[in-house]
Structure 1
Amino acid sequence: MRYFALILIFLSLHQTMRTQGTVEAEFDTIFNFQFASLKNTHQKKILIDEGHNTIYSLPYGRQTAREMLRIMEEDGFQLQFSNRKLDSITLKEYSPDILIIHGMPNDKTVLTDGDKKEILYKSPLNENEIMGIGKYVFEGGSLFLFLSHFPGGSGALPLLEAFKVKFRDGYAFHPNSLGHKGGLCSHFTMSSENKMINLDHPLFAENNWENLSPGTIKFLCGAAVFRNPEDTILPFPNNTVNFSPTTDGTADIEEYSDAYAGMIGFEFGKGRVVICTDQGIFRSLDLLIDDEKIPVTIHDPECDNAALLVNSIRWLGKLKP
């Protein structure tokens, strides 16, 4: 294992307060998901964005997603990384079957005038990129978009609006699924039995890959997203709460909903889109918090997140058994 320290917004939401701190983590280098590969049966290509402020723009970004990247390559997908703008020119040149954007916080600019300070937030995606990605999907491409709880998805809002997706830019909470140490950013254990895995979604129902139906999914601290009921892949329980951050560091209840989800998938024109609001759902990290090791999450022995990944990329790649 390799150890490193992350400075991040660690959600220790006791009552309504958020705190920041240093969280130690280690890369998992051992887990190796075994499955019947489709290698040499297709020539599908995946383009991964590392030009914007995604996880892959960080020096250790690829290491944190080691198993996710390995599984996609093992399944026969050709991976390419790009640090270019995601406009129509770039997408036409690479011509990927799947575009992956993994994390999308806003860009932050600090303006100062004497003693006065103002912070401006702006999406990293410009208008040409929003139009280019929308056109790419409408004409047959697929988008795999990972967001996170605040502030890890804020920069994707213009893109989400283009796909008619509603995103609650806060923290998803349900009293039956408390976060770490009782925090208000829930850790969900999902299954079809508790109606938090929708096996009727085409991502599962249309393909039925052998031994790849996930029994349990771990979803650790994410945000709420919704579109149409039939789009839901990982629904949250009824009466899930969105806690919205405020400027003074507290978290307010914005609304309750029975329609929230942590992962959705839908067709858009000739293309397909999957959006997941847990940025770590397929990453290979162990967070070390208060002498407790928390797997995040693909290598967690108590979950089938790797099987969910294979189902997702095959559905986005329009592969058939």
Structure 2
Amino acid sequence: MKPYLLGLLLPFCLLLQGQQVSDTLFAPPIPNPVYPEQAGPLILIDEGHYNFHTKDGRYTAFSRLLERDGYRIAGAKGSFKPNTLEGARILVISNALHKTNVENWYLPTPSAFEPEEIEFLRNWVEQGGRLFLIADHMPLAGAAADLAAAFGFEFTNGYVLDDRGRGPSIFSLEDQTLHPSMITRGRNPSESVTQITTFTGQAFKIPEQAEPMLTFSEHFTNFLPDTAAVFTPETPRIPAAGYHQGAFMNYGNGKLVVSGEAAMFSAQLAGPEKWKMGMNNPEAPQNYQFLLNIIHWLDDQL
């Protein structure tokens, strides 16, 4: 990446890390909810691991969208152990952190989860649980790397930036960076998705049995800083082409979806200018349907 392009993207990265509040007015149409109101399965959103995104925080729009689709949404407090997920159809973990990184976004980035929790979650999915694991750029990718590795995913704990100098990343069926699947097709043609927008995030490698959703092209570089959003000429970097930012797979009797970017499933107002980031962004009109389709796949509705 040329130095002047990195200089253009740095303010964008800092904006993403700055003050972010939920856009409470975001309410896209759901003409055909999968369940009547509050009649669907329970979805738990992790709130027990210093999560950057929570049910009534930065994932308010996420929660309200799924509630309007008929699901019941609740926060999951504390560590993961037997009985903590009782009654839940789907568990969402978004941007967990180790307590040492809550205020200090620099290396090292220890796991947000104890080994016993990771083994519990692996067994829970294998026995039929449904996990939606979301982990953004460093240090958030590092905090979830051990959990992802338990399922065969390799997180890189960096920032993936577009060499062409734009901010949000566009993945489309047309350029084959968005992969066609039952998730992009939805339940019917009105729910089909052809383009997805993400907001920085990380890149990862996927196991052989996983299906890619979002794959980086040759226009992207993966920066691996030791401090969040701090880039210098000495910052390690690797080409991101062929790495992924979204994938899904069956695991035993359960299912798993992995995303390397979290804001794409939010609807936030960032910075003093209240810049729209996430599903409410004008460049992301299909993101909300993508989220619904992911949940529908996890819930066996596709």
State whether residues 298 and 305 of structure 1, in contact with CA within 8 Å, keep that contact through their aligned partners in structure 2. Answer: yes
Deviation at 1:153, TM superposition (A): 2.1
Q: TM-score, structure 2 length as denominator? A: 0.83
Paired position in structure 2 for 1:48: 45
State whether residues 111 and 146 of structure 2, in contact with CA within 8 Å, keep that contact through their aligned partners in structure 1. Answer: yes
Question: Mean alpha-carbon deviation: is it higher for 147-156 or for 163-172?
Answer: 147-156
Cα distance in 2 for partners of 1:45, 1:244 equals 37
State whether residues 142 and 156 of structure 2, in contact with CA within 8 Å, keep that contact through their aligned partners in structure 1. Answer: no
- In the TM superposition, what whole-angstrom CA distance separates every residue of 1:54-90 from its partner, at most 9, and x where no partner exists? 1356xxx624322211121121212121212112332
Paired position in structure 1 for 2:117: 129
Paired position in structure 2 for 1:209: 188
Q: TM-score, structure 1 length as denominator? A: 0.79
Deviation at 1:172, TM superposition (A): 0.9
SS in 1 for 2:83: helix
Deviation at 1:236, TM superposition (A): 1.3
Paired position in structure 2 for 1:258: 241
Paired position in structure 1 for 2:216: 236
Q: Mark the CA change 1:75 to 1:17 in structure 2 (over 3 Å): closer, same or farther.
A: closer
Of 282, 290, 293, which residue of structure 1 is paired with 2:265?
A: 282
Cα distance in 2 for partners of 1:26, 1:140 equals 35
Cα distance in 1 for partners of 2:14, 2:220 equals 24
SS in 1 for 2:92: strand
| Structure 1 outlier segments of 4+, above 6 Å | 15-22
Cα distance in 1 for partners of 2:248, 2:175 equals 20
SS in 2 for 1:285: strand
Paired position in structure 1 for 2:143: 155
SS in 2 for 1:145: strand
- In the TM superposition, what whole-angstrom CA distance separates every residue of 1:287-307 from its partner, at most 9, and x where no partner exists? 236x5x532111123321100
Residue ranges of structure 1 left out of the alignment (5+ in a row): 1-11, 111-118, 180-186
Larger radius of gyration: 1
State whether residues 172 and 240 of structure 1, in contact with CA within 8 Å, keep that contact through their aligned partners in structure 2. Answer: yes
Cα distance in 2 for partners of 1:70, 1:27 equals 11
Residue ranges of structure 2 left out of the alignment (5+ in a row): none
Of 78, 88, 98, which residue of structure 2 is paired with 1:96?
A: 88
2:252 is equivalent to residue 269 of structure 1: yes
- In the TM superposition, what whole-angstrom CA distance separates every residue of 1:252-282 from its partner, at most 9, and x where no partner exists? 2332243211111111111111111111111
State whether residues 171 and 244 of structure 1, in contact with CA within 8 Å, keep that contact through their aligned partners in structure 2. Answer: yes
Deviation at 1:210, TM superposition (A): 4.0
Q: Mark the CA change 1:17 to 1:257 in structure 2 (over 3 Å): closer, same or farther.
A: closer
Cα distance in 1 for partners of 2:227, 2:268 equals 30
Cα distance in 1 for partners of 2:108, 2:203 equals 24
Deviation at 1:196, TM superposition (A): 2.2
State whether residues 9 and 165 of structure 2, in contact with CA within 8 Å, keep that contact through their aligned partners in structure 1. Answer: no
SS in 1 for 2:140: coil
State whether residues 107 and 121 of structure 1, in contact with CA within 8 Å, keep that contact through their aligned partners in structure 2. Answer: no
Paired position in structure 1 for 2:286: 304
State whether residues 102 and 279 of structure 1, in contact with CA within 8 Å, keep that contact through their aligned partners in structure 2. Answer: yes
Paired position in structure 1 for 2:35: 39
Paired position in structure 1 for 2:129: 141
2:184 is equivalent to residue 188 of structure 1: no
Cα distance in 2 for partners of 1:220, 1:16 equals 11
Paired position in structure 1 for 2:98: 106
Question: Mean alpha-carbon deviation: is it higher for 135-144 or for 294-303?
Answer: 294-303
Cα distance in 2 for partners of 1:241, 1:164 equals 23
Q: CA RMSD in A?
A: 2.9
